[in-house]
Structure 1
Amino acid sequence: MIEHFKIEQLDLVFGKNSKKVFQALDAGQSREHIHQELKHVIAVQNVNFSVYKSEILVIMGLSGSGKSSLLRCLNGMNGRTIGKTRGQILYLDAETNQRINLIECPKNHLRKIRKHQVSMVFQQFGLMPWRTVSENVAFPLEIQGIKSTERIKQVEEKLEIVGLAKWKSHYPHELSGGMQQRVGLARAFVTQADVLLMDEPFSALDPLIRKQLQDEILELQQKFKKTIIFVTHDFSEAIKIGSRIAIMDAGKILQIGTPQDIIENPACENVKRFTEDIKGTHTFLT
């Protein structure tokens, strides 16, 4: 399997004196002690894992576990402009087919990767209310400098895929929550990015729409074979869509594996608590 990302010994600290915090970590001081004494937050601590090409890796945990903070490290939103990271985030650059460390790569290279290779889908959709559906979806292409005729063609293709072709001239406030999220998906797909980072994209939706969009993500994945890193706090959602699941708590990954691995062989009591309501209700093919 091809590693799209390889994350090694990743720490993320929020606060002004990250050097002092890293020294405290290396000296064996706890996350809680550092927060109390140094008034800094360790959002991610000594995280090591790989993300394989064309898989759906689900990162899950309770609020404050570090899952969204970790996700935002994978496109440089955290660690470059917000907080400070150390370690390695090795990314397989689609242009050069070479691995680069996103923590150290030049800013213009990182911006290029964000524009063309790694797209983000947010929980609150992030739509611009003054733009129509088509104009919202076209926005990444405008940033890329794509000509108007090509933008229109690509936008129409992606709106057809997510079932919103007839709504292209409407504004976000005229759409339901589920439809707004589909606009966000179309906007992510229109960039042609190989990687989609999805930060609790369905958590604000009602259960029926949420289930429908989960099904649609799986269908789209079958068609486009994207690498998807999906954050959720819902274990049922993680089991349904994840090729593998990484469970986080207090900034650390407690266990990573297939849904079957996680349910049948929980690595610790915290993981076991996540699986208690699920075990016995799912049958896995062997």
Structure 2
Amino acid sequence: MEKPKPSGGPPPVISVRGLWKVFGPKADQVPDSPELCGLSRRELMDKAGCTAAVRDVSFDVSPGEVFVVMGLSGSGKSTLVRCLTRLIEPTTGEIVFEGEDIRGADEKRLRELRRNKFSMVFQHFGLLPHRKVLDNVSYGLEIRGVGRAERARRAMEVIELVGLAGYENSYPDQLSGGMQQRVGLARALAGEPDVLLFDEPFSALDPLIRRDMQNEVIRLHHDLGKTMVFITHDLSEALKLGDRILIMRDGKMVQCGTGDELVGAPADDYVREFVRDVPRADVLTLRWIMRPVQPDDALDGPELGPDVVIREATRAVLAADKPVKVVQDGQLLGIVGDDEILAVVAGAEVGA
């Protein structure tokens, strides 16, 4: 389940409710049938000849958030992201984008939204081999009818932004895989979309190039503040990039939360197994290990915030003569001492 958002914040950019995508001859019958809904993937195929790729998924994406959808092959994550733009038509459910019901949009409106509001970056770059980098990046603007001079100006802006300055007159086959993916990223940014959708964009890249591209996404998000939905099967990538992570399995949403919530409070054995090898000190914050203040506790130690990652707090806690106070907005939430830090660093389970 997704934790409810606090009231009073800005409205979500994307709001999804009860989304289903079923493939097969009786697809429309599945979401409304209690009997069919409860069947496993194999049972549903045997009984109705259908596959439920996305099953009753609901979530919100906030402005400026990096929202990661993670799952293994066949979990439904790529189908889900394509449903958001109706590249794949949902079977049922609600998709609201900036207050507009996407499922009610006609073809003309969908084209406008895809050209102006959101852009996708795929695993396969889809670059035009006969066009130079500059022309590949400006292709979407050309389709929009933007003039040549303005196209070139905007394309050069984003080419410089993604670190490709000097390669604008190169052809795709003259570039490495990582550089080609930068072209794809620049092309997505050129139209100044409100939302960027990434469908496993780095999974075909070598590990070092992949890490560089992950850092590039983090840098661009810091500089531009774009809302991003990022699809991946890699937990380390999800933890590195995501403000929140939605874990899917067999089309269903298993858990949605921040990285520390998934690692610190996995919803079930599936999530627990997923996060088993994650270095907990690199993900969990002091909020997870602080203990209540006791009457005989010394309260003249240093202060740290509850959202400081344990690994970053280790040196300060171990160097202090007194327990570290965990303070937020002037309120003392708890304290952390050597025992709490060492338990996590040594690999003990939080809450065990």
Normalising by structure 1, we get a TM-score of 0.93
Letter in 1 for 2:254: L
* Residues 1:138 and 2:138 aligned together: yes
Secondary structure at the residue paired with 1:165? coil
Quote the residue 2:91 is aligned against: 85
Aligned CA RMSD, in angstroms, stands at 1.4
Report which stretch shifted further, 190-199 or 24-33. Answer: 24-33
Does structure 2 conserve the Cα–Cα contact (< 8 Å) formed by 1:247 and 1:254? yes
* Residues 1:191 and 2:185 aligned together: no
Letter in 1 for 2:226: K
Q: Deviations over 1:30-75 (max 9, x none)?
A: 1422222222211100101101110000100000000000011111
Q: How far apart, CA to CA, are the structure 2 residues paired with 1:133 and 1:177?
A: 13
Quote the residue 1:38 is aligned against: 48
Does structure 2 conserve the Cα–Cα contact (< 8 Å) formed by 1:132 and 1:168? yes
Quote the residue 1:223 is aligned against: 223
Q: Name structure 1 gaps, 5 residues minimum.
A: 93-98
Secondary structure at the residue paired with 1:126? coil
Match runs of 1:1-286 below 5 Å: 1-2=9-10, 3-24=12-33, 28-32=37-41, 33-79=43-89, 84-92=90-98, 99-283=99-283, 284=285, 285-286=307-308
Q: How far apart, CA to CA, are the structure 1 residues paired with 2:35 and 2:56?
A: 11
Q: Name structure 2 gaps, 5 residues minimum.
A: 1-8, 286-306, 309-352
Does structure 2 conserve the Cα–Cα contact (< 8 Å) formed by 1:59 and 1:245? yes
Q: Deviations over 1:11-48 (max 9, x none)?
A: 01122432233344565441422222222211100101
Does structure 2 conserve the Cα–Cα contact (< 8 Å) formed by 1:65 and 1:249? yes
The 1:278–1:20 alpha-carbon spacing in structure 2 relative to 1, beyond 3 Å, is same
Q: Deviations over 1:122-169 (max 9, x none)?
A: 001111112111111111001111010100000011101111121111
Letter in 2 for 1:170: S
Q: Deviations over 1:202-260 (max 9, x none)?
A: 11111111111111111110111101000001100100110000000010110000101
Determine which structure has more spread, i.e. the larger CA radius of gyration: 2
Secondary structure at the residue paired with 1:236? helix
Secondary structure at the residue paired with 1:48? strand
Give aligned-pair identity as a percent. Answer: 42
Letter in 1 for 2:28: K
Q: How far apart, CA to CA, are the structure 1 residues paired with 2:47 and 2:124?
A: 34
Q: How far apart, CA to CA, are the structure 2 residues paired with 1:200 and 1:25?
A: 33
Q: How far apart, CA to CA, are the structure 1 residues paired with 2:31 and 2:60?
A: 23
